[in-house]
Amino acid sequence: MTLTEVSSVEGETGDFKVTLIKHPRYILEDKCTGCGTCVKYCPVEYPDPFNQAISANKAVHVYFSQAIPLVSYIDDSCLFLKEKKCGICETVCQADAIDFRQKTEKMEVSVGAIILSSGIKPFDPKVKPEYGYGKYPNVVTSMDFERLLSSTGPYSGEVLRASDKKHPRNIAWIQCVGSRRVTEGENSYCSGVCCTYTQKQVILTKDHEPDTTCTIFHNDIRAFGKDFERYFQRTEDLPGVQFIRSYASIAGENPENHNVRVRYATADEGVKEEEFDMVVLSVGLNPPANNKQLAEIFGIQLNNHGFNLTDHTNPIATSRKGIYVSGAFQGPTDIPESVFTASGAGSQVGTQLDRRRGKLAKERIYPPERDVSQEEPRIGVFVCHCGANISSVVNVPSAVEYAMSLPNVVYAQEQLFSCATNSAQEITDLAQEKGLNRVVIAACSPRTLEPLFRDTLREAGLNQYYLDMANIREHCSWVHSKQKEEATKKAKDIIRMSVARAGKLQPLQEFDLPVNKAALVVGGGIAGMTCALSIAEQGHPVHLVERSKDLGGMARRIHTTIEGMDVETYVDNLIRKIYQHPSIYVLHDATIIDVAGYVGNFVTTVESERGTTQIKHGASVIAIGADVYEPTEYLYGQDERVVTHLELSEQIAADDEKVASAQSVVMIQCVGCRNEDRNYCSRVCCSHAIKNALKLKAINPDMDIDILFRDMRTYGLREDYYREASDKGVRFIRYEPSDPPQVETGTSEEDGREVIKVTVADQILGQGLELDADILSLAAAVVPAKTTEEIAGLFKVTLSPDGFYKEAHVKLRPVEFATDGVFLCGTAHYPKHIQESINQAYGAAGRVLTLLSKDTVVASGAVCEVNDNDCVSCGACITACTYDAISFRETPLGRKAWVNPVLCKGDGVCNAKCPTNAIVLKHFTNDELCSQIDAAVTAEEIIKQIEEAAV
């Protein structure tokens, strides 16, 4: 329901009455064809809000190229609406879709639960004139720059200056605009995403114009997310890119060329001023623009920053029962967190409304499948621009023209985004209209969008396996971005090969498999227990497997969070709920011996205190947590005064006398990570250090506390605690990894007591400091659990380069594995705070319930099959198959290999190993692949090579 807003909410959980106000579109959605004729003839132009008002749009338009629904609307700038003049659009619309009689509608809906996913609003730097935004044309925001980089942006993907429409060759980014500042109109918190999106913009800028110089002015680089540290290093290593650690300000504009002057300070050269062609303000994230109105309408409370007031034991809940929150309304949030909090909110709503599950569902009906197996191939080719991902390198119109010249191709066209709703519908319609019986999509990786395009064929009445995808993005434009002519030639080669294969494709049938309604959760920490409870509360049996004697995991060693959550009490309550729930079965001292089966029907063998147990279940969740690195540096293990942050927090909670009497404490960050061995940030350590420092200051306000750090990564709302610690006298000293702190035992020159001496080079003072410490606390890295590799092998899932579990898609599928039916959550995925683990646990439960709520799942038709006549029973295929899908069975021809199609993943390893070619991999047959290989080189190229060889 677009163009619709909530005006009031009454009632209580399970029975809300919501009043909606639907604003008129002035266009009939069921009649509009999206032809764009009305847009072409509309005489009114005004700044386009979607393109940040950089370019103009019409009073009637589609808001953006992939809008849902992809239907125009008429806004308030329309002359007819304002003055009853014009009406040209109504005259030219042949579909009679314009309707100026539409009025605002008021309606009421009854719902059992509500999810608020109202997102955020970028900070507007116009509220602070010193940024020069709106005053100097070449000062832009990061949102402006996003639109400049986009192929659907104001200049079709070209980055141009507003002042002269020239390409900027020297661009500066200024970080923390509107964030991490206590000045009026700005936000004290860290927006979390700005450092990384700036790095993305720098990489894309260098892809657009490799000779552009990029300078990033920053305070801390907060690369705390999964693989973010490597991403930062990749950006930093690009030629012509420099990161300068300094607060910078706009000093003015050069009136002759409209270049922007930036003033900044350096530790060694003092204050400097430099001129740039363009300056990008990396703006932070504000709460939704109407957050106070939202709070009033829905009856919820906000925190002092304007986001939802979070219950730390359940960050998805609001202060009003039955109303939940997901995404950035919790606080500044990146895409993966937004995705799994959305899934988590769905899971919590499912708990509340489980009795209604399936009552309103309707089965999707596809048209009857046409048998085209005896027809001559009639192939349609659709070449995608993928925004600028493909078209900025590959000449798409030329590729389309070439496709039309290929054998059996009867139709070809280009599309801006083939995956867009309207484009997919266009493929379906054209397949029917043109009589296509094979379709080639020249676009991105089939791993991402093949299911979508297969669905378009089913909508057209074709077997879905008559689809082939030519990957001209990952295999062409992305890897040949500097060789545009050669990339276009290669794209044509890939399309030609794909067309050749498409002509040989055969129809295949998928089949349904029953789903066992139980779940297995591996790991009894906070994430595992939260996930197990969410699944069980929706009526599914859950087997919770824990390798130790007690539930609780690492949280047993954590007493409070930086926000003040009582972890000990929370964990005890969670454990009690687990044991009291009739549908949760707990196994302690458990070791998983074997995992067999497939999505919907797994059999896991577990050895535990109860002996050997076989558990049958439909889905698996891996939540085995993580371990803490045991330092080998800084005298750890040699001197009892050297502890980890976790051990220090335990001593504080236990009122240890040594801690209470300490005069000085030194903390060293990034111990065991952000190095060659572990090239990642452990994410939680900076906040843990701040928490301990504030606890120590509460015990003894006069205690000297020094935190030695590389980048303080108290992202999000935790930034306020960083500032509080500084205000209370905690000293923060930055060190460089090339010159780390040095530690030795010694005697205090002040009073002669035995201390640990820590020497560190202060970057600001430009000299070394010697600190006396009664306690040295080390921020020991979070490392993968010892059983991570073993569990990965059993469940046939993969690991990231850092040894944590690798999700199916880092942004879009952050709680799923590529292995169907297996999910993950908690620190097994990557280091994270307790609230983040809870969010992800609910998110994993939501995905599990999506599977378990079905009676059947669909198995692929692209599986292997054995020709008994050619099988010599050598067993090579059985040895090669990692999915245990192949076994011997007795046939009239004797003992032969047999492939269980349910277990087969279609990877083709057995097919390659078979010495007699007895195994055929459907959808990748020899005939199909050989035709593709034969098409790799054209006849003209072969003749040319022969002639050159002869010469």
419-438 pLDDT tens trace: 888 889 999 999 999 999 99
- Full strand arrangement of the beta sheet holding 822-824: 584-587, 542-545, 519-522, 619-622, 822-824
Residue pair 696/664 in contact (Cβ under 8 Å)? The answer is no
Beta-ladder partners of 438:
379
Closest CA to 115 of 325, 322, 317: 325
Closest CA to 938 of 363, 492, 415, 430: 492
Block residue for tokens 């090339």:
738
The pairing of strands 438-443 and 591-598 is unpaired
Q: How high does pLDDT run on average in the chain?
A: 94
Residue pair 261/279 in contact (Cβ under 8 Å)? The answer is no
Query: pLDDT at position 744, please?
Result: 95
| Distance between CA atoms of residues 520 and 182, nearest Å | 48
Block residue for tokens 């552009």:
212
Ramachandran angles phi, psi of 643, nearest 5°: -130, 170
| Distance between CA atoms of residues 186 and 127, nearest Å | 9
Query: pLDDT at position 951, please?
Result: 73
Query: pLDDT at position 358, please?
Result: 79
Closest CA to 257 of 277, 272, 273: 277
- Specify the pTM: 0.88
Indicate the SS3 state at residue 264: strand
What is the rounded (10 degree) CA torsion for 580, 584, 589, 595?
180
Which CA distances in Å does 120 have to 285, 291, 326? 6, 9, 11
Q: For the chain, percent helix, then strand, then coil, each to nearest 5?
A: 30, 25, 45
Indicate the SS3 state at residue 930: helix
Q: Averaged in consecutive runs of 10 residues, what is the pLDDT profile of the chain (951 residues)?
A: 95 96 93 82 92 93 82 92 92 90 95 95 94 96 96 89 96 97 94 96 93 96 95 96 95 96 90 96 95 96 95 95 96 95 96 86 89 95 89 94 96 90 90 96 89 94 96 92 92 96 94 94 98 97 97 96 96 97 97 93 94 96 97 96 97 95 97 95 97 97 97 96 97 94 92 93 87 97 97 95 94 92 97 97 97 90 93 94 90 93 88 94 93 88 80 73
Closest CA to 16 of 299, 233, 214: 299
H or E stretch at 858: strand 856-859
| Distance between CA atoms of residues 854 and 858, nearest Å | 11
Ramachandran angles phi, psi of 924, nearest 5°: -140, 50
Which CA distances in Å does 621 have to 367, 520, 764? 36, 6, 48
DSSP E strands in 683-785: the ranges are 704-709, 731-734, 742-747, 754-762, 767-773, 775-780, 782-784
Query: pLDDT at position 504, please?
Result: 95
Closest CA to 695 of 734, 733, 724, 732: 724
Indicate the SS3 state at residue 945: helix
* Burial class of residue 303, CB neighbours in 10 A (0-12, 13-18, 19+): middle
| Distance between CA atoms of residues 173 and 195, nearest Å | 10
Return left, alpha or beta for 185; rule: phi > 0 is left, psi -120 to 50 is alpha, else beta.
left
Which CA distances in Å does 55 have to 30, 38, 143, 144, 166? 29, 19, 14, 11, 16
pLDDT digits (tens, 9 = 90+) for 576-592: 999 999 999 999 999 99
DSSP 133: B
The pairing of strands 15-22 and 105-111 is antiparallel
Query: pLDDT at position 877, please?
Result: 95
Query: pLDDT at position 133, please?
Result: 96
What is the rounded (10 degree) CA torsion for 135, 139, 145, 148?
70
